[in-house]
C-alpha cells in the first residue's frame, strides 16, 4: 500500500512511464486497492463528449478501502484526531476500529431513515468528526454526498438541494467558530421552505441549543443511531458510480455540481496524498481546510484514510484564542505534515512574528499550501518561521474539478522555487496553449493551462447538466481539459500559476463567479445593474469590488452599502461580501451593450492611468465619473 516515490530520479522515471504507458502505470497503482470484482480496462476516454471511464466495471466500496482493510494491522492506530475550537474542551482521538464502528452505525441509521444507494444527501456541518462520519456513512451505503460549506446562506443551500434533488440533510444545531456560535439548523429550516425533495433532516447536537424539530422530518443524530449495529455491509459500487457532488462557482451565475466517481477518485486521492506529502506511517497529518471544500474531501478525509494515516480535524479558526493557535496545536499533537492556505499565512503574518516564535514546531517535516498563488513574501515567512528553514513547502495546484493535486513538489524530493507550484504529478500532462489553441512547446513562456490526457480523478460531469461540463471544460480547446487558469513555465519546466483567466474571483482561496455575485447584488430592490471585479488584496489575495447602479443615486451611501452587503449575505453567505462598493450612474459598455470589465478592473486595481482607448464606448463620460469616484 506504500505508493510513495522515494527519489527525484524515480519521479522522472515514473513520470515518463505514466506518459508512455498510462494504463500500465495506473493499473499497477490500482491493484494495491481492494476491488471486490476486478475492473476490465484501466482507462477509456474521449474529451469531446466528454466520456471518461477509469477502471471500468470494477466493483468496490471506498470505505472498505478507507477502513475495513486497515482493521487487521491498524485497528488500534489513530485514524482521526479532533481539536476543538475551545482550548478547554477535550480533544477526540478515534482509532481505525472506532471510526469504522461509528461509520457503520451511522450508515445503518441512514438506511433506517430510508436512504439508499444513489440518493443525494446534503451535509451542512461544523468541522467536527461527525462530518467525516457522515461523509463515509453515505459512501458506505452508496448514497451520494454533497457537502455544503457551513458559511453558505439558506438561499445557497436551497439552490444546491434543489439542483441535486436531495433526499436528506445532515446538519447540527449550531457550530462554534472562534468566540461566536452560528445556528446551522435555523439556516437549514429557512432553506427547506424553498425545497420539496427533502424527507429527512438528521441533527447532531453540537452546541446544546434547542432548535425547532419538525415532526416526521427531523431527528436527532443520537436518536437515529440508537440500537444500530456497529457493522454495516458495504454497498458494492461500480467504479464509475457517483461518490459525491461538490458545488463550485464558475463564470456563470449558478454554481455547478462537480461530480466525482468512486474508483478513479479513490486511486488518485491516495496516490497524490502519499507522494505530495511524502507521507510516512507514523506521521500526524493536519490539513486546516474545511470539509466543505474539495481540499477537505480529498486531503482531510479520503486521501489520508485510504493511506491508513492519522488525520487531524480542527474546529476553530487560526486567530482564536490568539494568532498562535495553529502553532500551539502543531506542538500539542506533534504534527509532522501541515497543509494550509496562503491567505491564512498572510493573515497570521500580519499579527507579528511573536505568535509563531514562541512555539518549537520541531515535529514539522513537510509544509503545504493550496487555494491560490502564494506570494514570495508569505512563502519566505512560512519557510523561515514555521518550517524553521528546514521544511520543504509543497505549493499544490489543483481544483475541485481535478479531484486531487496536479502540479506540486513532492515533499523534499523536488527542487523548490518560491511561488512556483513546480512539476506535474506522474499521470498529469499539462500544456500551455496560446490564444489560438496552439501548444506552446518552449520554456520561459505563459499560456492557458490545459491538460491533454485524463487522470483518474478528473470530473466526469456536472450534475444534471452534462452539456455544461462540456462547454465549460472541454470546448475551449479541442481534446484538452481547460483549467480556467493562466500559467507560466520557467526555464527548467517548473510551472507557476498566475491566476484565473475567466470571470472567477479567488477570495481567500474561495471561488466566486462575478456573475454569481452580481446576481446576488441585483436582488437588492434599489439596484438596477451591477458589475463585479477582483482587485489585489493584501490578506485575501483578491477582494471583491462592486460597481452598482441604483434607481437613484443613494443619499446615504453607507446605509445603501450595508443593505447591499446584507443582500449578498442572504443570497450567498458572508464569505462573498464585497469589500468595496462604488455607486455609479452607469457602467462602461461597448456599443453592443457588453460591459467593459477590463476598464473596471483597471480602476479597481488603482491603475486608472492605464485605461487605454475608451472613445469607442457607448458613453465615455461614465469612465471619468468612475475614475473620480474610485474607492
Q: Does 355 bind ligand WTA (CB under 6 A)?
A: no
Cβ-contact 121, 167 below 8 angstroms: yes
Residue in this structure with the C-alpha cell 468528526, named with its chain if needed: 129
Cβ-contact 66, 97 below 8 angstroms: no
Angle, helices 557-571/154-164, rounded to nearest 10 degrees: 30
Query: Nearest Cα to 368, choosing from 396, 348, 329?
Result: 396
- Of 271 and 583, the one with the shorter C-beta distance to ligand WTA is 271
Window 498-557: residues binding ligand WTA (CB under 6 A): 499-500, 506, 511
- The window from 88-96, 157-165, 197-205, 369-377 that contacts ligand WTA (CB under 6 A) reads 369-377
Torsion region of 152: left, alpha or beta (phi above 0 gives left; psi -120 to 50 gives alpha):
beta
Residue of 65, 400, 457, 472 interacting with ligand WTA (CB under 6 A): 400
Q: Does 497 bind ligand WTA (CB under 6 A)?
A: yes
- The window from 328-336, 370-378, 380-388, 437-445 that contacts ligand WTA (CB under 6 A) reads 370-378
- Of 105 and 290, the one with the shorter C-beta distance to ligand WTA is 290
CB of 487 to ligand WTA, least distance (A): 9
- Contact track, ligand WTA, 426-465, x by CB under 6 A: ----------------------------------------
CB of 100 to ligand WTA, least distance (A): 28
Residue in this structure with the C-alpha cell 513574501, named with its chain if needed: 377
What would the DSSP string read from start to end of 495-514? EEEEEESSSEEEETTEEEEH
- Of 293 and 338, the one with the shorter C-beta distance to ligand WTA is 293
Cβ-contact 209, 173 below 8 angstroms: yes
Residue of 155, 200, 399, 472 interacting with ligand WTA (CB under 6 A): 399
**Which residues sit opposite 6 in a β-bridge?**
none
Window 287-326: residues binding ligand WTA (CB under 6 A): 293-295
Q: Is 17 helix (H, G, I), strand (E, B) or coil?
A: helix
Query: Nearest Cα to 66, choosing from 366, 315, 298?
Result: 298
Cβ-contact 258, 462 below 8 angstroms: yes
- Of 211 and 373, the one with the shorter C-beta distance to ligand WTA is 373
- Of 185 and 346, the one with the shorter C-beta distance to ligand WTA is 346
Q: Does 484 bind ligand WTA (CB under 6 A)?
A: yes
Q: Does 395 bind ligand WTA (CB under 6 A)?
A: yes
Direct distance between the N- and C-terminal alpha carbons of the chain, in angstroms, rounded to an integer: 55
Cell numbers found for residue 211: 432548535
Residues 382, 393: Cα–Cα separation, whole Å: 8
Query: Nearest Cα to 477, choosing from 451, 440, 495, 459?
Result: 451
- How many residues touch ligand WTA under the rule CB under 6 A: the total is 23
Residue in this structure with the C-alpha cell 528553514, named with its chain if needed: 389
CB of 251 to ligand WTA, least distance (A): 12
- Of 483 and 582, the one with the shorter C-beta distance to ligand WTA is 483
Q: Does 472 bind ligand WTA (CB under 6 A)?
A: no
Residue of 248, 261, 414, 522 interacting with ligand WTA (CB under 6 A): 248
Residues 591, 620: Cα–Cα separation, whole Å: 11
- Of 185 and 511, the one with the shorter C-beta distance to ligand WTA is 511
Q: Is 608 helix (H, G, I), strand (E, B) or coil?
A: helix
Q: What is the CA radius of gyration of the chain?
A: 24
CB of 402 to ligand WTA, least distance (A): 8
CB of 507 to ligand WTA, least distance (A): 11
Residue of 272, 340, 343, 396 interacting with ligand WTA (CB under 6 A): 396
CB of 484 to ligand WTA, least distance (A): 6
CB of 450 to ligand WTA, least distance (A): 12
Residue of 130, 241, 283, 485 interacting with ligand WTA (CB under 6 A): 485
What would the DSSP string read from start to end of 165-224? T-SEEEEES-EEETTEEE-HHHHHHHHHTT-SS--EEEEE-SS-------TTTEEEHHHH
Cβ-contact 221, 131 below 8 angstroms: no
- Contact track, ligand WTA, 179-218, x by CB under 6 A: ----------------------------------------
Residues of the shown chain interacting with ligand WTA in the complex, contacts defined by CB under 6 A: 248, 293-295, 370-373, 395-400, 421, 483-485, 497, 499-500, 506, 511
Amino acid at each position: 500500500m506504500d505508493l510513495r516515490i522515494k527519489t527525484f530520479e524515480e519521479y522522472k522515471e515514473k513520470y515518463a512511464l505514466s506518459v508512455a504507458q498510462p494504463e500500465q502505470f495506473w493499473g499497477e497503482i490500482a491493484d494495491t486497492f481492494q476491488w471486490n470484482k476486478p475492473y476490465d480496462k484501466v482507462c477509456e476516454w474521449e474529451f469531446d463528449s466528454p466520456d471518461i471511464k477509469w477502471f471500468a466495471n470494477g466493483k468496490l466500496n471506498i470505505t472498505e478501502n478507507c477502513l475495513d482493510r486497515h482493521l487487521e494491522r491498524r485497528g488500534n492506530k489513530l485514524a482521526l484526531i479532533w481539536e476543538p475550537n475551545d482550548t478547554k474542551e477535550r480533544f477526540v482521538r478515534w482509532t481505525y476500529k472506532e471510526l469504522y464502528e461509528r461509520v457503520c452505525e451511522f450508515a445503518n441509521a441512514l438506511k433506517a431513515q430510508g436512504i439508499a444507494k444513489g440518493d443525494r444527501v446534503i451535509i451542512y456541518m461544523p468541522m467536527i468528526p461527525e462530518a467525516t462520519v457522515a461523509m463515509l456513512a453515505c459512501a458506505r451505503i452508496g448514497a451520494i454526498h454533497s457537502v455544503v460549506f457551513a458559511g453558505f446562506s439558506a438561499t445557497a443551500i436551497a439552490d444546491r438541494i434543489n439542483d441535486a434533488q436531495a433526499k436528506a440533510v445532515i446538519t447540527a444545531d449550531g457550530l462554534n467558530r472562534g468566540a461566536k456560535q452560528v445556528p446551522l439548523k435555523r439556516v437549514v429550516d429557512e432553506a427547506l421552505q424553498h425545497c420539496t425533495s427533502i424527507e429527512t433532516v438528521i441533527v447532531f447536537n453540537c452546541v446544546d441549543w434547542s432548535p425547532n424539530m419538525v415532526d416526521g422530518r427531523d431527528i436527532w443524530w443520537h436518536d437515529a443511531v440508537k440500537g444500530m449495529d456497529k457493522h454495516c455491509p458495504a454497498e458494492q459500487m461500480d467504479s464509475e458510480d457517483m461518490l459525491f457532488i461538490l458545488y463550485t462557482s464558475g463564470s456563470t451565475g449558478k454554481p455547478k455540481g462537480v461530480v466525482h466517481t468512486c474508483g478513479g477518485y479513490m486511486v488518485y486521492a491516495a496516490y497524490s496524498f502519499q507522494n505530495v506529502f511524502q507521507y510516512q506511517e507514523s506521521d500526524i497529518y493536519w490539513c486546516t481546510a474545511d470539509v466543505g471544500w474539495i481540499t477537505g474531501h480529498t486531503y482531510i478525509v479520503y486521501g489520508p484514510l485510504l493511506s491508513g494515516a492519522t488525520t487531524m480535524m480542527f474546529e476553530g479558526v487560526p486567530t482564536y484564542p490568539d494568532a498562535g493557535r495553529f502553532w500551539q496545536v502543531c506542538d500539542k499533537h506533534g504534527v509532522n505534515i501541515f497543509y494550509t492556505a496562503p491567505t491564512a499565512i498572510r493573515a497570521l503574518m500580519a499579527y507579528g512574528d511573536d505568535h509563531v516564535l514562541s512555539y518549537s514546531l520541531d515535529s514539522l517535516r513537510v509544509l503545504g499550501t493550496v487555494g491560490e498563488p502564494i506570494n514570495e513574501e508569505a512563502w519566505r515567512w512560512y519557510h523561515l518561521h514555521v518550517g524553521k528553514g528546514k521544511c520543504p513547502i509543497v505549493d499544490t495546484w489543483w481544483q475541485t474539478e481535478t479531484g486531487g493535486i496536479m502540479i506540486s513538489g513532492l515533499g523534499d524530493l523536488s527542487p523548490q522555487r518560491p511561488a512556483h507550484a513546480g512539476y506535474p504529478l506522474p499521470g498529469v500532462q499539462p500544456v500551455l496553449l496560446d490564444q489560438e489553441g496552439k501548444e506552446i512547446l518552449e520554456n520561459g513562456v505563459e499560456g492557458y493551462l490545459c491538460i491533454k490526457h485524463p487522470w483518474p480523478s478528473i470530473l466526469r460531469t456536472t450534475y444534471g447538466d452534462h452539456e455544461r461540463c462540456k462547454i465549460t471544460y472541454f470546448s475551449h480547446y479541442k481534446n484538452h481539459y481547460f483549467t480556467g487558469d493562466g500559467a507560466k513555465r520557467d526555464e527548467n519546466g517548473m510551472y507557476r500559476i498566475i491566476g484565473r483567466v475567466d470571470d472567477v474571483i479567488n477570495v481567500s482561496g474561495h471561488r466566486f463567479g462575478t456573475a454569481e455575485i452580481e446576481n446576488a447584488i441585483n436582488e437588492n430592490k434599489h439596484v438596477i445593474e451591477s458589475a463585479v471585479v477582483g482587485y489585489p488584496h493584501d490578506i485575501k489575495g483578491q477582494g471583491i469590488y462592486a460597481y452598482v447602479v441604483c434607481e437613484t443615486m443613494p443619499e446615504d451611501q453607507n446605509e445603501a452599502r450595508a443593505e447591499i452587503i446584507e443582500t449578498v449575505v442572504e443570497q450567498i453567505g458572508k464569505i462573498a461580501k464585497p469589500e468595496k462598493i462604488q455607486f455609479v450612474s452607469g457602467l462602461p459598455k461597448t456599443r453592443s451593450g457588453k460591459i467593459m470589465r477590463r476598464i473596471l478592473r483597471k480602476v479597481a486595481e488603482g491603475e486608472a492611468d492605464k485605461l487605454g482607448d475608451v472613445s469607442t464606448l457607448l458613453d465615455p463620460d461614465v469612465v471619468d465619473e468612475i475614475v473620480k469616484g474610485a474607492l
